[in-house]
């Protein structure tokens, strides 16, 4: 057996996280692990799947989703230039899988929060459940983050983009992605494929150090986008040939 050189030994081993097609997801393999309390008293919780990071292919085979609205900073993320929000219309089957995952994680998170913050015991079931902010809206709209800036390049969302009647481009990072977003209405209405990870479970406290909201940070790992033709609408002047002498 050949010995590894010193430089080879100093290099970190690279392993791929397994990606599960959404229809193959098994709820029994999902686990919410408790890593202890942070300084602010909130629990550090991690969602794992079969002992690995939960990563789903939302569009296996010939399936496509659709970018519902512009990819842009979320309502509460205006100051965050490192990431943007994307909302995908994913269809009923994918939505059912995401909802199943979120309900399972939600039950554990709310239980942990109630134990860590006795003040939550004063809330009825409805009030307690309002703390959870799910990624699914309406029937099939799923919201996630695309990462544009990071000290670790491996954490950036990878894009494969085909502009209308142009060559396919591989895009990583804000400097390369932003011009495409500007030229193509933020990818709104585009067909898309996406692989997404449950990156973390977030918890926000108010000024009285009480939990006000929690949820899963879903991160787009890879996204394939087929851009439609861009149309610039023009309103013609109906008075171009009108006479100033008309009575």
Domains of the chain are 17-226 (2.40.50)
Q: How confident is the model at residue 71 (pLDDT cuts 50, 70, 90)?
A: very high
CA distance linking residue 177 with residue 165, whole number of Å: 18
Q: Burial of 41 by CB count in 10 Å (0-12 exposed, 13-18 middle, 19+ buried)?
A: middle
H or E segment and range at residue 215 = strand 211-226
Question: Of the segments 75-84, 125-134, 218-227, which one has the largest average pLDDT value?
Answer: 218-227
Exposed e or buried b per residue across 163-202, where buried means at least 16 C-beta atoms within 10 angstroms of its C-beta: beeeeeeebebbeebeebbeebbbbbbbbbbbbbbbbebe
Q: Mean pLDDT, to the nearest integer, of 70-74?
A: 86
* pTM, rounded to two decimals: 0.84
CA distance linking residue 227 with residue 102, whole number of Å: 30
Helix (H, G, I), strand (E, B) or coil at 123: coil
If you ran DSSP here, which 8-state letter would residue 236 be given? -
Q: Which of 127, 94, 115, 130 is nearest to 213 (CA)?
A: 130
pLDDT at 125 over 60: yes
Q: Contact, 31 vs 171, CB < 8 A?
A: no
The pLDDT score that the predictor gives to residue 80 is: 65
Task: Look at 233 and 141; give whichever has higher pLDDT.
Answer: 141
CA distance linking residue 216 with residue 145, whole number of Å: 11
The pLDDT score that the predictor gives to residue 17 is: 81
CA distance linking residue 178 with residue 171, whole number of Å: 10
Alpha helices per DSSP H over 117-170 = 125-129
pLDDT at 1 over 60: no
Query: How many CB atoms sit inside 10 A of residue 143's CB?
Result: 18
CA distance linking residue 120 with residue 117, whole number of Å: 6
Q: Mind listing the pLDDT tens digit for each residue in 204-214?
A: 988 878 888 89
Q: Contact, 74 vs 100, CB < 8 A?
A: no
Q: Mean pLDDT, to the nearest integer, of 103-123?
A: 85
Cα(first)–Cα(last) distance of the chain, in Å?
99
Q: Mean pLDDT, to the nearest integer, of 71-90?
A: 81
């Amino acid at each position: 057996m050949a010995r590894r050189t010193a430089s080879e030994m100093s290099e970190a081993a690279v392993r791929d996280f397994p990606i599960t097609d959404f229809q193959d997801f098994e709820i029994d393999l999902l686990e919410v692990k408790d890593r202890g309390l942070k300084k602010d008293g909130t629990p550090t919780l991690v969602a794992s799947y079969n002992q690995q990071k939960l990563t789903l292919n939302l569009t296996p085979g010939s399936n496509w989703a659709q970018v519902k609205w512009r990819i842009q900073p979320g309502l509460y993320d205006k100051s965050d230039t490192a990431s943007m929000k994307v909302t995908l219309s994913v269809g009923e089957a994918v939505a059912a899988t995401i909802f199943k995952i979120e309900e399972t994680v939600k039950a554990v998170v709310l239980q942990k929060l109630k134990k860590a913050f006795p003040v939550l015991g004063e809330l009825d079931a409805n009030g307690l459940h309002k703390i959870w902010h799910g990624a699914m809206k309406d029937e099939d709209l799923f919201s996630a983050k695309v990462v544009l800036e990071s000290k670790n390049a491996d954490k950036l969302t990878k894009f494969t983009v085909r502009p209308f009647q142009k060559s396919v481009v591989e895009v990583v990072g804000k400097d390369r992605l932003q011009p495409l977003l500007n030229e193509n209405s933020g990818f709104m209405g585009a067909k898309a494929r996406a692989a997404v990870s449950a990156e973390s479970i977030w918890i926000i406290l108010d000024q009285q150090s009480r939990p006000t909201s929690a949820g899963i940070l879903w991160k787009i790992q890879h996204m394939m986008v087929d851009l439609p033709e861009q149309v610039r609408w023009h309103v013609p002047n109906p008075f171009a040939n009108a006479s100033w002498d008309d009575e």
